[in-house]
A and B are shown apart, each in its own frame.
Chain A
Amino acid sequence: GQNIDQPTEMTATEGAIVQINCTYQTSGFNGLFWYQQHAGEAPTFLSYNVLDGLEEKGRFSSFLSRSKGYSYLLLKELQMKDSASYLCAVEGDSNYQLIWGAGTKLIIKP
């Protein structure tokens, strides 16, 4: 079967750093996406990884290890507006279809 695992909820402090992990088992792999979703809104794109390694984009970085079926999203200098759900999604075999994790709810405290 196809499975993507993420922690359900994490708490961090404003200004700190947090790492959200994602492990996956899928039939085929064409890339891994991270999306941010605020309550009641559609997801917004954060990052895309298809090769192993770290992709940095401002305060957000995403890492991928295909051999381990593992990715993480790293958020630095946390701000209150970063409180949201973070969804890991893998593009598997099917045409453009994404397999979604359940999302990690990130709570930022002052």
Chain B
Amino acid sequence: GAVVSQHPSRVICKSGTSVKIECRSLDFQATTMFWYRQFPKKSLMLMATSNEGSKATYEQGVEKDKFLINHASLTLSTLTVTSAHPEDSSFYICSASSSFRGSEYREQFFGPGTRLTVL
């Protein structure tokens, strides 16, 4: 299957700082990337959908000025958590999907996730 990487895998930062998380599709072009947040014992919560070259579409309740998403190329999307606070501590997962793969279904390929801890 296709490979999606995330960097960093873990990050600890001080409250008030900004953190950037990268999501890369390594062997395919991802026309659409998704950013999820997962709380312990809860399902994945979709934060936003980004299509290459256009602005991200944020889910209701997600602050777009706090969670900045950039999908500048077909292989890279970034999520920047601005002015992070302890309540932003979570597991952030990206996924990528492509309409070019010609597969019979639009599978999402997940990155390994980034564990963010805000002190």
Name A98's contact: one of B42, B46, B109 (CB within 8 Å).
B46
Interface of A is mostly: loop
Asked if B60 lies at the interface with its beta carbon under 8 angstroms from chain A, I say: no
Interface residues of B in 10-62 (CB under 8 A from A): 32, 34, 42-46, 49, 51
A102 to B43, CA, bound (A): 4
A48 to B1, CA, bound (A): 14
Check A96 against B32 for contact (C-beta < 8 Å): yes
Q: Which residue of A lies closest to B114 (CB)?
A: A42
Chain A residue numbers with a CB within 8 Å of B110 are 42-44
Name B106's contact: one of A40, A43, A44, A96 (CB within 8 Å).
A96
Residues of chain B having any CB pair with chain A under 8 Å = 1, 32, 34, 42-46, 49, 51, 91, 93, 97, 105-113, 115
Asked if A18 lies at the interface with its beta carbon under 8 angstroms from chain B, I say: no
Chain A residue numbers with a CB within 8 Å of B44 are 43, 87, 100
Q: Which residue of B lies closest to A8 (CB)?
A: B41
**How many A residues touch B, CB cutoff 8 Å?**
21
Chain B residue numbers with a CB within 8 Å of A67 are none
Check B1 against A96 for contact (C-beta < 8 Å): no
Check B32 against A95 for contact (C-beta < 8 Å): yes
Name A97's contact: one of B49, B91, B111, B113 (CB within 8 Å).
B49
Residue of B109, B110, B111 with most partner-chain A CB within 10 A:
B110
Check B105 against A48 for contact (C-beta < 8 Å): yes
Q: A87-B44, A96-B49 are in contact. Are A50 and B111 (CB under 8 A)?
A: no
Chain B residue numbers with a CB within 8 Å of A94 are 49
Chain B residue numbers with a CB within 8 Å of A40 are 91, 113, 115
Q: A87-B44, A97-B46, A101-B43 are in contact. Are A42 and B105 (CB under 8 A)?
A: no
Chain A residue numbers with a CB within 8 Å of B49 are 94-97
Chain A residue numbers with a CB within 8 Å of B97 are 96
Check B43 against A87 for contact (C-beta < 8 Å): yes
A105 to B45, CA, bound (A): 17
